[in-house]
Structure formats: C-alpha cells, structure tokens
Amino acid sequence: MVGKGGTHEVLQSWVSNLSFQRECWYGQLRGEPEAFINSLRSMDAHLIRMNISRPSLEDFFLQQLQKRGIEPSY
C-alpha cells in the first residue's frame, strides 16, 4: 500500500515493512483495513493505493491452526 502524510509512530503500528520515499510511505497493512482507514483520518494522512489480497487456502488453515496453538508439522 502507498500513502502520504501521517505520524511515523502511528504508521509503524499499522504498517509492516514501512519505508519512505520522497513524501510517500510504503508497506503492508497489519490489521483491519476499515480501522486503518479511520486512523488515517485522525492523523491527517491519505491513502493513495491499497491492494487487498486473500491468503491462499493453505495459509488460511495454517493461521487457524496457529490461533488454536497447534503447530503444523512439515
């Protein structure tokens, strides 16, 4: 995702792999998109682009196992 403006500390809590180039910031969202967009409004930041993708079925099931404390064996 790409955005402009905002507070570095707040962005770090929402954006993994946060990097800056010129006046824009880049990274991957951690958390719910709707809550993130609301936080952007409160820090006077603007979202330029966000690509939302779904995890693969395998990743989804691995996440479900990890939430239940079950470690997958490979």
Range 36-44 average pLDDT: 93
Cα distance between residue 52 and residue 61, in whole Å? 19
Query: What is residue 24's predicted lDDT score, i.e. its pLDDT?
Result: 97
Mean pLDDT, residues 42-58 taken together: 89
58 pLDDT band, cuts 50/70/90, is confident
Instruction: Determine the pLDDT at residue 29.
Output: 93
Per the prediction, the chain carries an average pLDDT of 90
Strand partners, 28: 16
Confidence of residue 31 (pLDDT cuts 50, 70, 90): confident
For the chain, the structural domain boundaries read 2-67
Question: Span 22-35, mean pLDDT?
Answer: 92
